[in-house]
């Protein structure tokens, strides 16, 4: 049996949204900043079309409201539209009430703009961590079918759910069942290592990602890759952030298009919604 296509996912946000730079870009000032995501996303859509690859795009609601043509272009190109929250804030900072408002508002805005149903959510910075499981209940109550927020790793300051299953699985809650789509990891030397995207893709050996995806294929399940528009840009903002933060956020971008091309030549990718439909159908039959 051929392995399931992996998931190509894009967190559609601006360069001033990453958590590492949040202290330098308060939300009150976002409206005065240049938005670069539309032109970069347009290039990515053309690139994906050339590789005949469909993706899932987790879009920040605040950005979607200001760039509706970008959201419509994503949907019209055949990619899945999903939610990345409204204001790109960590789930633990929002708390239950503000989290509900965020996922409700972003879902409604994205559906109104795209004309497509929004079924999935990914927390900014993968910030559903142990102790915040109430977020799954809110997502179910707000009409979401799946979540893609868990990163089954340790030793990261803002994310990590080390006890989570490494591959797509069902989360049973009192109010229903939610499908979880975790980011790809690699089991190596007795540990679990990130092998998914972002800085790991830009700055670490490509072999790490390849090994993680091959492990998933050996299990007959999809891995999940992620990227952001600001990682695909050749421009760096002038911001008085510590050098290490800037390196982590923007380092390694000169080779990223080449690596993407290599990855899409080597592996098959598709949107998360295809996996959701397949797993739901199997669950219904059993």
- 28-74: per-residue pLDDT in tens? 999 999 999 999 999 999 999 999 999 999 999 999 999 999 999 99
CA Rg value for the chain? 18
Task: Give the pLDDT band (50/70/90) at residue 1.
Answer: very low
**For the whole model, what pTM was predicted?**
0.96
> Are the beta carbons of 272 and 9 closer than 8 angstroms?
yes
C-alpha 121/C-alpha 106 separation (Å) is: 10
pLDDT tens by residue, 127-172: 999 999 999 999 999 999 999 999 999 867 778 999 999 999 999 9
Mean pLDDT of all residues in 83-89: 97
Strands 56-59 and 191-194, by their bridges, are unpaired
Nearest to 122 by CA among 198, 63, 73, 57: 57
- Is 6-285 assigned to CATH 3.20.20.370? yes
Mean pLDDT of all residues in 215-224: 96
pLDDT at res. 246? 86
User: Domains of the chain: which residue ranges?
Assistant: 6-285
Strands 80-83 and 191-194, by their bridges, are unpaired
pLDDT at res. 262? 97
In the predicted model, what is the mean pLDDT of the chain?
95
Mean pLDDT of all residues in 69-82: 98
pLDDT tens by residue, 110-127: 999 999 999 999 999 999
Cα 14 → chain centroid:
14
C-alpha 99/C-alpha 123 separation (Å) is: 10
> Are the beta carbons of 54 and 80 closer than 8 angstroms?
yes
């Amino acid at each position: 049996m051929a392995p399931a296509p992996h998931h190509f996912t894009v967190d559609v946000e601006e360069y001033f949204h990453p958590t590492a730079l949040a202290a330098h870009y308060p939300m009150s000032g976002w409206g005065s900043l240049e938005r670069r995501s539309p032109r970069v996303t347009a290039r990515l859509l053309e690139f994906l079309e050339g590789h005949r690859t469909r993706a899932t795009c987790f879009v920040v609601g605040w950005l979607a409201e200001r760039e509706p043509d970008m959201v419509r272009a994503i949907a019209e190109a055949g990619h899945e539209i999903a939610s990345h929250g409204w204001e790109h804030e960590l789930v633990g900072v929002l708390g239950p009430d503000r989290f509900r408002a965020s996922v409700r508002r972003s879902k409604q805005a994205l559906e109104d703009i795209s004309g497509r149903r929004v079924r999935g959510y990914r927390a900014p910075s993968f910030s559903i961590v142990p102790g915040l499981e109430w977020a799954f209940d809110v997502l179910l109550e707000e009409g979401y079918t799946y979540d893609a927020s868990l990163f089954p790793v340790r030793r990261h300051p803002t994310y990590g759910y080390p006890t989570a299953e490494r591959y797509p699985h069902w989360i049973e809650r009192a109010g229903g069942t939610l499908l979880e789509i975790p980011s790809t990891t690699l089991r190596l030397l007795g540990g679990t290592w990130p092998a998914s995207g972002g800085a790991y893709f830009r700055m670490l050996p490509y072999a790490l990602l390849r090994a993680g995806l091959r492990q998933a294929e050996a299990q007959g399940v999809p891995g999940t890759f992620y990227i952001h528009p600001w990682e695909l840009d050749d421009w760096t903002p002038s911001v008085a952030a510590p050098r290490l933060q800037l390196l982590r956020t923007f380092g390694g971008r000169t080779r990223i298009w080449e690596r993407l091309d290599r990855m899409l030549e080597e592996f098959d990718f598709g949107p998360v919604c295809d996996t959701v439909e397949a797993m739901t159908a199997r669950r219904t039959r059993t």
